[in-house]
């Protein structure tokens, strides 16, 4: 089989219900790499919250962070690297509308760090930072960030997403961040995982037909549609399943990605 780019989302896809890569999934992805395929992570997470999985899988390929906002080769100089930014004024406007929109917090992120509108809502596990100080306050944001994150309640997520999209429609797209929490990611207009994946494919002189992509959430729609073979997880959204070429038999908690990939690539 011609070498494939295997694009893998993290939360709800590669990671199990404990947000870990199971031994079986790690083994199958490792065998895919040894068979000549290219495993690349495409996630909504910032780099600092996905690097551990990149290292665990012993990858050397480019990766997509921030739902396409950053495409890079970790710890390497890579000519095709791309990074998009969103106006910091939108962050300040959302901070002013926090109560009106029903937001728990507003955060701005870039490759290196994050800023949050209030320190009392800092979650060490969520932000992968052990400590936070006033320097991390959103009021101290002086440059345009790669993405914005807002947290709301699960039952409000859809309406909040629509309200933010309507207000800043010319400048942003609003994405659902994978996982159990109602996190919305706000990225520059037209930025998505497929855009990032296309940069990687071009750098390898490969096309969409050479890509198999796995995902579970709305932020994977463009990626699965772009890939020559898009696979939705059994635990994925109905919308994603409707555009996918196929659906795994098992969920992320049952090694669904590993099970499917092992059969698809005849590993």
Q: Which residues are catalytic?
A: 9
Q: Is 79 exposed, middle or buried (0-12, 13-18, 19+ CB in 10 A)?
A: exposed
85 conformational bin, left if phi > 0, alpha if psi -120 to 50, beta if neither: beta
SS3 letters across the chain: CCCCEEEECHHHHHCCCCCCCCHHHHHHHHHHHHCCCEEEEECCCCHHHCHHHHHHCCCCCCEEEHHHCEEECCCCCCCCCEECCCCHHHHHHHHHCHHHHCCCEEEEECCCCEEECCHHHCCHHHHCCCCCCHHHEHHHCCCCCCEEEEECCHHHHHHHHHHHHHHCCCCEEEEECCCCCCEEEEEECCCCHHHHHHHHHHHCCCCHHHEEEEECCHHHHHHHHHCCEEEECCCCCHHHHHHCCEECCCCHHHCHHHHHHHHHCCC
* Token pair in block for residue 138: 């959103």
């Amino acid at each position: 089989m011609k070498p494939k780019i295997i694009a893998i989302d993290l939360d709800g896809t590669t990671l199990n219900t404990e947000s870990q890569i199971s031994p079986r999934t790690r083994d199958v992805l490792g065998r895919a790499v040894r068979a000549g395929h290219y495993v690349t992570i495409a996630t909504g997470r910032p780099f600092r919250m996905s690097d551990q999985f990149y290292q665990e899988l012993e990858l050397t390929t480019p990766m997509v962070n921030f739902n396409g906002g950053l495409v890079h080769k970790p710890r390497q100089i890579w000519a095709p690297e791309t990074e998009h930014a969103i106006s910091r004024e939108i962050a300040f406007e959302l901070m002013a509308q926090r109560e009106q929109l029903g937001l728990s917090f507003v955060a701005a992120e870039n490759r290196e760090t994050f800023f949050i509108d209030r320190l009392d809502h800092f979650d060490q596990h969520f932000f992968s930072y052990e400590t936070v100080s006033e320097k991390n306050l959103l009021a101290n944001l002086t440059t345009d960030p790669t993405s914005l994150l807002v947290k709301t309640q699960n039952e409000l997520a859809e309406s909040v997403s629509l309200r933010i999209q309507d207000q800043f429609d010319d400048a942003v797209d609003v994405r659902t961040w994978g996982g159990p929490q109602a996190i919305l990611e706000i990225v520059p207009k037209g930025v998505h995982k497929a855009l990032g994946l296309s940069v990687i494919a071009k750098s390898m002189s490969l096309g969409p037909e050479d890509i198999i992509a796995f995902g579970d959430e709305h932020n994977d729609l463009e990626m699965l549609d772009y890939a020559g073979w898009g696979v939705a997880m059994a635990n994925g959204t109905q919308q994603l399943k409707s555009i996918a070429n196929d659906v795994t038999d098992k969920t992320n908690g049952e090694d669904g990605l590993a099970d499917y990939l092992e059969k698809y690539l005849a590993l």
